[in-house]
Amino acid sequence: MDRGWYFRLAIVVGSSVLGFLALWPSVDRWLPCPDIVKETFDNQINPGLDIKGGLRLMYEVEVDEYIRDRRDRIAEQVQRQCGVLIGVVPEEEVDEIDRPKLDEIRQRCKVERVDKDGGAVRAIRITFSNQEDAGKLSKTWVKDYFRDLRVASGVGDLVVDLHMREEQLANMRETAVRQSERTITNRIDSMGVLEPTVIARPNDGDIIIEIPGAQESSFERIKSIISRTAQLQFKIVDDESDSRSLFTTPPEGVYLNQGAQTFAEAFGEDARDRLRAYIATLPVPDDHELSIGRQEPDPERGGEGWRTYYMYRVADATGEDLDDAAVGFDPQSGSPEVDFTMNTRGASRMADLTGRSIGKRMAIVLDDRVESAPVIQGQIGARGRITLGAYLDRNELLQEAKDLVVVLQAGALPAPLRPANEQLIGPTLGQDSVRRGAFAALVGVILVVVFMALYYQVAGLVADAMVLLNLQLLLGVMSGIGATLTLPGVAAIALTVGMAVDANVLITERIREELRLGKSPRSAVEQGYARAYSSVFDSQLTTAIAGVVLWQFGTGPIKGFATMLLIGIGTSLFTGTFCSKVLFDWLVRGMRVQRLRVG
């Protein structure tokens, strides 16, 4: 035997040993694995949802809320740009307009958010105070500055309505679903969950999430982290305006506190819902809003307390500019909190917001809930903190802080999620399914192995050895990358066995033809492999192309099947054309077999 054969043998043996070591941690329950192997190969084959059970969630993305939020942001830009249109501010100062100047613009040109047809149409209404200013607005101006909008009616009149363009609405709906998919994936990854499946369906406006192995104890926490919108905003509380005229006689269970600032408050289990219902009946100005935050409980009036904050609607700084977040602790009370850092743009916005609002209160609003509203003592830059209050148990606060860090680091959802279907699939169904699937795959493999050994004799035994080596390498690669094994994956393994045998059949038939021509076993093996290789490679390549298409465009089980198929094609080519050649060379060159039995 020449040195080349020993080198190829070393590759085969090394690959086999490496594949076994990578697979060993996955079969630890049947074949105990040493700690050193577990530390070196720390990944395992992960049973899929259909095998192990787990969590399956379906959420509908509230795209209308995303469109409304986008409309509201554009409306603020329209208000500022109208100041340039009517000559109140120059173009270069449009992003630096302060509140007194905005009030001056609103006196001549007021921009309002209008919902038509029961909220089906999100519109922006511009109301001019004089005809001269109204005559400056044109369709060309709207098209140049706001490509998402079109003029619906009123050009040249004192009242002009702008609507969102239909093509932009379609793009927004798809964007909302796609962004939600990416955010949910980031959140799940931050939790250390192995092999989750997140499927976005923009046409249906929903997202399907599958988490194999999720336990009932973590069910609620996972749902909370996934579905939390996590929109962080910093807004200035308007304590200077007289808001008493806003509040009508409150219903039972809601109280008006008319101290230094007037606000509504409620106590008890459903206090927040009562306040929400009450706020919905109040005539809040378009540029302001009433938000709800937690306050100190009052045992005499029901316990848990909530109150309202009267603030400006526009958020001058948001969580979009968040750079990092981490769990921290208040240096005085030791209570858990969330420390955050803004990026360069966010730090600039925060410094501008707090610099011009010293002495005022800044509300830190998370998902429409005021977490805190401290008084601004001085200019704030890139760093800040979110206090979670001292009204909960310390352990609950700590867990809330940790979960909040996860969602803030992963980014905010572009729109709220509405649960459509939530299932905790038990492992019993999975175990029954895997038993049936594994049994079917095992029967298929055994039938193939027996047929090859009986029909092709020695060549069949070589093929059988390559099938077993192929299975070991296939499972070893899966374990090495931490892949998920699903029932379609089991089917792909059975298919891979068939393809591996097919390669050996092509080679064996070519060797048989060469032997019939009277060639020696050594020459027949060389010629058989040389002439069969192109056919084997072409057949595997065409199958691989189909596998790539399935992997690229398939979802869930289809993608799992494609992954297993592609890995199997690689291992089949390696064992069928390389490893089997090493074994045949040993027979005809090392053992010097004079009569090679190929059936």
First and final C-alpha spacing in the chain: 26
Q: How many CB atoms lie within 10 A of CB 447?
A: 10
Q: Provide the β-strand partners of residue 298.
A: 303
Q: Which one, of 494, 459, 460, lies nearest residue 474 by Cα?
A: 494
What pLDDT does 534 receive? 87
User: Are residues 497 and 479 part of one domain?
Assistant: yes
State the total domains in the chain.
3
- Which residue type, as a one-letter code, is found at position 27? V
Give the end of a domain, one of 142, 168, 194.
168
Q: Are 138 and 162 in contact (CB under 8 A)?
A: no
Residue 304: inside a domain, yes or no?
Answer: yes
Residue 255 sits in a domain whose CATH number is 3.30.1360.200
What pLDDT does 391 receive? 56
User: Are residues 526 and 461 part of one domain?
Assistant: yes
pTM of the model: 0.60
Residue 220: inside a domain, yes or no?
Answer: no
User: Are residues 68 and 36 part of one domain?
Assistant: no
Residue 387: inside a domain, yes or no?
Answer: yes
Q: Which one, of 372, 413, 394, 461, lies nearest residue 179 by Cα?
A: 413
Q: Which one, of 492, 527, 502, lies nearest residue 452 by Cα?
A: 502
Residue 174: inside a domain, yes or no?
Answer: no
What pLDDT does 125 receive? 92
The rounded distance, in Å, linking the Cα atoms of 427 and 53 is 4
Give the end of a domain, one of 149, 168, 187.
168
The rounded distance, in Å, linking the Cα atoms of 540 and 543 is 5
The rounded distance, in Å, linking the Cα atoms of 180 and 315 is 22
The rounded distance, in Å, linking the Cα atoms of 267 and 292 is 12
Residues in contact with 60: Cβ distance below 8 Å, sequence separation at least 6, in sequence order: 205, 206, 417, 418, 419, 420
Residue 151: inside a domain, yes or no?
Answer: yes
The rounded distance, in Å, linking the Cα atoms of 490 and 435 is 11
Q: What angle do CA 123, 129, 132 make, to 5 degrees?
A: 105
User: Are residues 30 and 68 part of one domain?
Assistant: no
Residue 550: inside a domain, yes or no?
Answer: yes
H or E segment to which residue 417 belongs: strand 417-425
Q: Provide the β-strand partners of residue 206.
A: 60, 201
DSSP 300: G
User: Are residues 456 and 479 part of one domain?
Assistant: yes
Residue 203: inside a domain, yes or no?
Answer: no
Q: Can you point out the beta strands (E) in 19-99?
A: 46-47, 54-61
H or E segment to which residue 172 belongs: helix 166-190
* Each residue's pLDDT tens digit, 174-203: 888 888 888 888 788 777 665 677 888 888
Summary mean pLDDT of the chain: 84
pLDDT above 70 coverage of the chain, percent: 95
User: Are residues 123 and 19 part of one domain?
Assistant: no
Provide the token pair at 156: 């040249």
Alpha helices (H) in 417-520, listed in sequence order:
427-481, 487-516
Q: Are 133 and 86 in contact (CB under 8 A)?
A: yes
User: For the chain, what's the residue count?
Assistant: 599
Backbone φ, ψ for residue 540 (5° rounding): -70, -35
Give the end of a domain, one of 168, 187, 207.
168
Helix axes of 166-190 and 394-410: crossing angle, nearest 10 degrees: 130
User: Are residues 107 and 245 part of one domain?
Assistant: no
The rounded distance, in Å, linking the Cα atoms of 85 and 165 is 22
Residue 208: inside a domain, yes or no?
Answer: no
What pLDDT does 533 receive? 87
Q: How many CB atoms lie within 10 A of CB 79?
A: 21
User: Are residues 369 and 265 part of one domain?
Assistant: yes
Backbone φ, ψ for residue 211 (5° rounding): -125, 100
Residue 497 sits in a domain whose CATH number is 1.20.1640.10
User: Are residues 494 and 383 part of one domain?
Assistant: no
- Strands lying side by side in the sheet with 159-164: 109-116, 121-128, 159-164, 149-153
User: Are residues 371 and 439 part of one domain?
Assistant: no
* Each residue's pLDDT tens digit, 56-87: 889 999 988 888 888 888 998 899 899 999 98
Residues in contact with 399: Cβ distance below 8 Å, sequence separation at least 6, in sequence order: none
* Each residue's pLDDT tens digit, 141-164: 988 888 889 888 887 789 999 998
* Each residue's pLDDT tens digit, 18-54: 999 999 988 888 888 898 988 888 888 877 777 777 7
Q: What angle do CA 17, 21, 25 make, to 5 degrees?
A: 160
In order of 132, 201, 457, 493, the CA distances from 454 in angstroms are: 97, 50, 6, 23
User: Are residues 31 and 144 part of one domain?
Assistant: no
Strands 484-485 and 46-47 come out as parallel
Q: Which one, of 344, 213, 235, lies nearest residue 293 by Cα?
A: 235
User: Are residues 452 and 326 part of one domain?
Assistant: no
Q: In a structure prediction context, what are the per-residue pLDDT tens digits for the chain, which is 599 residues long? A: 678 888 988 999 999 999 999 999 888 888 888 989 888 888 888 777 777 777 888 999 998 888 888 888 899 889 989 999 998 889 888 877 877 888 889 899 999 988 887 767 889 999 999 998 888 898 889 888 888 898 888 877 899 999 988 888 888 888 888 888 888 887 887 776 656 778 888 888 899 888 876 666 677 778 888 887 778 888 989 888 878 888 888 898 899 988 778 899 999 888 889 999 999 999 888 888 999 988 888 777 777 889 999 998 888 788 777 888 888 887 777 778 888 888 888 888 888 888 888 888 888 888 788 888 888 888 887 887 777 655 556 777 787 778 777 777 777 788 888 888 888 776 655 566 667 767 877 887 788 888 888 888 888 888 889 888 998 999 999 888 877 777 788 888 888 888 888 888 888 888 888 888 888 888 888 888 888 888 888 888 988 998 899 888 776 677 778 888 899 999 989 998 899 888 888 888 878 777 877 76
Residue 347 lies in domain: 228-391
